[in-house]
Structure 1
Amino acid sequence: MLTLTSPFETSLHRLAAGPKLLALAGLSIGLFTLQSLALIVAAGGAVAVLYLAFGWPFARYGVAMLRPLWPFLAILALWHGWTGSWALGLAIGGKMLVAVALANLVTMTTRLDDMIAVVERVTAPLARFGVQPRVLAVAIALVIRFTPVLMDKARQLGQAWRARSARRANWRIVLPISLMALDDADRIAEAIRARGGL
């Protein structure tokens, strides 16, 4: 499994996970209440400055982590361009980019076990309703960890397709990627059971 934590140490790494996740939730809610495109661009600029404040290597690493978002932004742009609502498309795309960049900043500067501990503490009251906080926390951790793994496998599968065919892969690699995901999930479940479960 891959880790999303940045290899470049910053002062944000020393902050506790709880306040960072709380700040992320508050900023995300505030961001999605913005209606003005100018304010959304200003928020994006502020996040870019925040990344750059921790050094160029850290900022470049953060931009690389955001690369998988570009296809979704392109689809948004094409759709809203086709429907003639460019301003709305730019606003939605801008909000998405800023929100993901903020979330990325938190995951890059927070250890996964610290985030799991916060999720367990927050969801502890749900135990009386039958929800197991540990299971929920581990499930969230697995999603965070496996997202870049699956994306990397999809990239490798796309490269293998291009090496063997002149046609574009498109939907043809969806089934192999789905089977890879199920296979990985099966192996992780076996590993968890072998270690005594949760």
Structure 2
Amino acid sequence: MISLTSPVRTWAHGWPAGVKLAGLCLATMLLFAIQDMAIQVAALLLVALLYCLPGRVFLRSGLTHLRVLVPFVVILLVWHSVTDDLVLGITVILRMVTAVALANLVTMTTRLTELMDVVRRLLSPLRRAGISTAPLEIAMPLLIRFAPVLIERAELMFQSWRARSVRRQNWRIVLPMMLLALDDADRVGEA
């Protein structure tokens, strides 16, 4: 497992996790409520500025985490080009990239334990009602920590495929990826 927290200390590292999560929720709701593309572009530029302020290392690390969005951006562009609604597609892409970049900014500047403390406090009414929140409290950090690992493994499998075959990767890579994920889940479950 790896940590998503940035090694570069920023001004946002000192903010309380609850404030960052509340700001993320509010910003995301505003992004989806506003239809004007100019405001969407301005929001993305503001987020890009937030990534640039701490320096080159922080920016590079943040962009590395965001590159998983590239296939989604391509699919959305192709789809909206085919359906002849490119303006809507660009607006959706701007929203998606900005929201994910903000979420990434929160995870890069907040320790996982702080995030889980906020989640635990938010789930306390369920515990008082007699509902066990322990499975959710365990599953969330595992998902956050293992998502980058699974993405990295997928990239390695794609590289292996390219090294062995001149044909493009296809659906046949899904089964080995599922088996790797299940194997990791089994080992974590035993631990």
TM above 0.5, yes or no, is: yes
Where in structure 2 are the equivalents of 1:134-153 lying within 5 Å?
Answer: 134-153=134-153
Which residue matches 1:167? 167
User: Structure 1 residue 69 and structure 2 residue 83: aligned?
Assistant: no
CA offset digits 1:108-141 (Å, max 9, x no partner): 0000111111111110101144432332122111
User: Structure 1 residue 156 and structure 2 residue 156: aligned?
Assistant: yes
Supply the distance in 2 between the matched residues of 1:65 and 1:96 (Cα, whole angstroms): 14
User: Structure 1 residue 17 and structure 2 residue 36: aligned?
Assistant: no
- Deviant stretches of 4+, over 4 Å: none
CA offset digits 1:31-61 (Å, max 9, x no partner): 1111011110010011111111222221121
Output the amino acid matched with 1:141.
P
Q: How many residue pairs are counted as aligned between the two chains?
A: 191
Task: Give % identity.
Answer: 50
Where in structure 2 are the equivalents of 1:83-122 lying within 5 Å?
Answer: 83-122=83-122
Supply the distance in 2 between the matched residues of 1:182 and 1:45 (Cα, whole angstroms): 39
Which residue matches 1:42? 42
1:171 Cα deviation (Å)? 1.2
| 1:112–1:141 CA contact under 8 A, matched in 2 | yes
Stretch moving more, 153-162 or 48-57: 48-57
Output the amino acid matched with 2:174.
V
TM-score, normalised with respect to structure 2: 0.96
Supply the distance in 2 between the matched residues of 1:71 and 1:78 (Cα, whole angstroms): 11
5+ residue gaps in structure 2? none
1:184 Cα deviation (Å)? 0.8
Which residue matches 1:4? 4
Output the amino acid matched with 1:32.
F
CA offset digits 1:81-111 (Å, max 9, x no partner): 0110000100101100000000000000000
1:142 Cα deviation (Å)? 0.7
Output the amino acid matched with 2:151.
M
Which residue matches 2:123? 123
TM-score, normalised with respect to structure 1: 0.93
1:157 Cα deviation (Å)? 0.6
| 1:28–1:99 CA contact under 8 A, matched in 2 | yes
Supply the distance in 2 between the matched residues of 1:182 and 1:56 (Cα, whole angstroms): 36
Output the amino acid matched with 2:114.
D
Stretch moving more, 80-89 or 165-174: 165-174
Which residue matches 1:27? 27
